[in-house]
């Protein structure tokens, strides 16, 4: 009977020692998840997403966080008088944007912000005597994720800039 108990205790200890590194590889011993991810658009059309990830445990000192978003930007030409010609001198640009950063983990939490965009005008250019302006941008499918596979949809989503008039 005593041998059976020793064998069972040894087997249980072996299982626990084998499982501990597996838990450490998934973001520490906590329960990693994003508490929030909030979108905002600045005056130049840049999307900034602020986030907080909690439950990372104390076994890691930093975490890589990524931001992915789809963007639609409207560019338009204006003459030197500030008017846009009646011609179709405007272009809609669709793009997928991505950025990432490394953030410190303090007390099992990581807090920060990532910014992307707006997408550039690509090959679109104005004729002589006109200037290209970013008129609006919309971001959708904004997702914040970590290196361990945890993610959250940022909100509001979609988010639009409203009227802009930013030289490109």
pLDDT tens column, 65-84: 999 999 999 999 998 877 77
Q: What is the mean pLDDT of residues 111-116?
A: 98
pLDDT > 50? residue 14: no
Q: Is 57 exposed, middle or buried (0-12, 13-18, 19+ CB in 10 A)?
A: middle
Q: Per-residue pLDDT for 18 more than 80?
A: no
pLDDT at 81 (0 to 100): 74
CB 105 within 8 A of CB 60: yes
pTM for the whole thing? 0.80
The answer for residues whose C-beta is within 8 angstroms of residue 61's C-beta and 6 or more apart is: 104, 105
- Residue that has been written with the tokens 């846009």 in this structure: 84
């Amino acid at each position: 009977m005593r041998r059976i108990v020793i064998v069972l205790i040894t087997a249980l200890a072996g299982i626990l020692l084998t499982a501990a590194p597996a838990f450490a590889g998934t973001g520490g011993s906590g329960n990693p998840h994003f508490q929030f991810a909030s979108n905002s658009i600045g005056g130049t059309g840049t999307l900034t997403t602020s986030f907080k990830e909690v439950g990372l445990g104390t076994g890691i000192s930093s975490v890589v966080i990524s931001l992915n978003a789809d963007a639609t930007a409207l560019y338009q030409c204006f003459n030197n008088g500030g008017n846009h010609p009646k011609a179709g001198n405007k272009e809609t640009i669709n793009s997928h944007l991505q950025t990432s950063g490394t953030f410190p983990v303090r007390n099992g939490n990581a807090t920060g912000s990532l910014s992307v965009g707006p997408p550039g005008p690509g090959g679109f250019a104005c004729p002589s005597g006109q200037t290209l302006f970013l008129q609006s941008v919309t971001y959708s499918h904004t997702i914040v994720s970590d290196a361990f596979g945890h993610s959250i949809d940022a909100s509001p989503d979609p988010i639009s800039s409203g009227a802009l008039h930013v030289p490109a």
